[in-house]
Amino acid sequence: MVADVIAGKYGNGQERREKLKAAGFDPDEVQAAVNRALTAEEPELPGAARDPADKYVCKTYVTKASALNVRTGPGTDSRKKAKAELTPDGQRHSNDEGQLLPGTRVTVSQVRRAGSDWWGLIPSGWIALEWHGAVYVK
């Protein structure tokens, strides 16, 4: 739910409030959960069911790879981004090739699973959260 709101699937402002109410959610409680997700606190609504297979959720992580590629889409078939294509903050926390440095805090707003691999959308693009069993964030 929180990821859908962050992704804009419920619109904004009054439109969001009305759609959330129609879906049976308290708009104020959802907004609080969205705010927590964007500041690395608990990302889901209290008591909300979560698929136990969801290994990763929308929240802030810290990179642990020595050099983490940022891509145009979720998957190794998507092009790697150059440093100049990253956000200013992404550029500050990357090497000359545009790979994020270890210890970089990243806020994931969408999570995609592809087989056993996990990908996260950050402001600069898509990063591997876990790929072929190797975990790139904590």
Exposure string of 34-61, with b = 16+ CB inside 10 Å and e = fewer, is bebbbeeeebbbeeeeeeeeeebbbbbb
* Mean pLDDT, rounded, for 102-113: 94
In eight-state DSSP terms, residue 63 is B
Q: What is the mean pLDDT of the chain?
A: 85
Flag whether pLDDT at 36 surpasses 60. yes
Query: Residue 105: what are its φ and ψ, rounded to 5°?
Result: -80, 125
- Reduced to 3 states (helix: H, G, I; strand: E, B; else coil), residue 128 is strand
* Mean pLDDT, rounded, for 5-21: 81
Domain boundaries, the chain: 2-38, 60-135
Strands, DSSP E only, in 33-115?
A: 60-62, 105-107, 110-114
First-to-final CA distance of the chain: 22
Q: What percent of the chain has pLDDT over 90?
A: 54
Topology (CATH level 3) of domain 60-135: SH3 type barrels. (2.30.30)
CA distance 86 to 92: 9
| Tens-digit pLDDT profile for residues 39-89 | 544 444 444 444 545 789 999 999 999 999 999 999 999 999 999 999 999
- Tell me what pLDDT residue 38 has: 64
CA distance 83 to 21: 42
pLDDT level of residue 102 (50, 70, 90 thresholds): very high
- Tell me what pLDDT residue 25 has: 84
* Mean pLDDT, rounded, for 77-102: 96
- Tell me what pLDDT residue 34 has: 73
Whether 5 and 30 have beta carbons less than 8 Å apart is answered as yes
Alpha helices per DSSP H over 56-136: 88-92
